[in-house]
Amino acid sequence: MEIDKKVLRKQMQDRMKELSKPEYEQLSYQIACSLYSTPLWSQAKTIGITVSKAPEADTWQIIRKAWDEGKRVVVPKCIPQSKQMEFRELNSFMDLESVFYGLWEPNPEKTDEVRSEEIDTLIVPGLAYMKNGFRLGFGGGYYDRFLEHYKGRTVSLAFEMQVITRFPVENHDKPVEMIITDQQLWATGDA
């Protein structure tokens, strides 16, 4: 029986919303601490990262930490007309604007575009993951299109509950090379 991606996305979002504020904060903190211990973090000079929206694992603290360590932070700006995505350098949370779906994106008037070749490590968001590195995204396909040409390192951050045994994988799907949860870290092997 084929698993319906729409149904799975909704189920996962509902499960994540059940986390209490203390659970959400603690688990997000544990995920972030694991990330900081990896070469993907320590070796990266430029980090591509989405500005999280609950109930996704919190990335605001990770952005602050990257700034503290002198790393360059670049965040995605979606271009709905072309279904493409570009990354722009973020130096202050004040340079964000809320565009659609309540997502925070870089304001193009206050930020500069950064080429994908300059991004050392890309933190790829998603709703569900398999241990082999495949992810179920939010359905827009922006990251799938970006990853087709991206050559740097990739990692996803997830709550343990987001790692499931299976979901449909399509030909264009690209696995991330590491998944970090609040309980463990998987190098996915073939990336």
Q: What is the pLDDT of residue 2?
A: 54
Q: Which residue has the higher pLDDT, 3 or 126?
A: 126
What is d(CA 46, CA 57) in angstroms, rounded to the nearest whole number?
20
As for how many domains the chain has, the answer is 1
Cis amide prior to 22 (ω within 30 degrees): no
- The model's pLDDT over 102-155, given as tens digits with 9 standing for 90+, comes to 889 999 999 999 999 999 999 999 999 999 999 998 888 899 899 999 999 999
pLDDT reported for residue 134: 93
157, part of any domain: yes
User: To the nearest whole number, what is the mean pLDDT of the chain?
Assistant: 92
Predicted local confidence at residue 1, as pLDDT: 43
* Residue 189 pLDDT grade (very low, low, confident, very high; cuts 50, 70, 90): low
For residue 66, being part of any structural domain is answered with no
Examine residue 86 and state whether it is found in any structural domain, yes or no.
no
Domain presence at residue 164: yes
In a domain, residue 52? The reply is: yes
CATH number, domain at 49?
A: 3.40.50.10420
Burial of 68 (0-12, 13-18, 19+ CB in 10 A): exposed
**Higher-pLDDT residue of 1, 73:** 73
In a domain? residue 110 = no
Amino acid at residue number 10: K
Q: Assess whether pLDDT exceeds 50 at residue 190.
A: no
Q: Is the residue at 155 inside a domain?
A: yes
Q: Which range among 28-32, 96-100, 148-152, 186-190 shows the weakest confidence by mean pLDDT?
A: 186-190
* pLDDT at 3 > cutoff 70: no
For the stretch 157-181, pLDDT in tens is 999 999 998 888 888 788 999 999 9
DSSP the chain: -PPPHHHHHHHHHHHHHTS-HHHHHHHHHHHHHHHHTSHHHHT-SEEE-----TTSPP-HHHHHHHHHTT-EEEEEEEETTTTEEEEEE-S-GGGEEE-STT-EEE-TTT--EE-GGG-SEEE---SEE-TTS-EE--SS-HHHHHHTT--SEEEEE--GGGB-S-----TT----SEEE-SS-EEE-S--
Containing structural domain, residue 133:
5-61+116-187
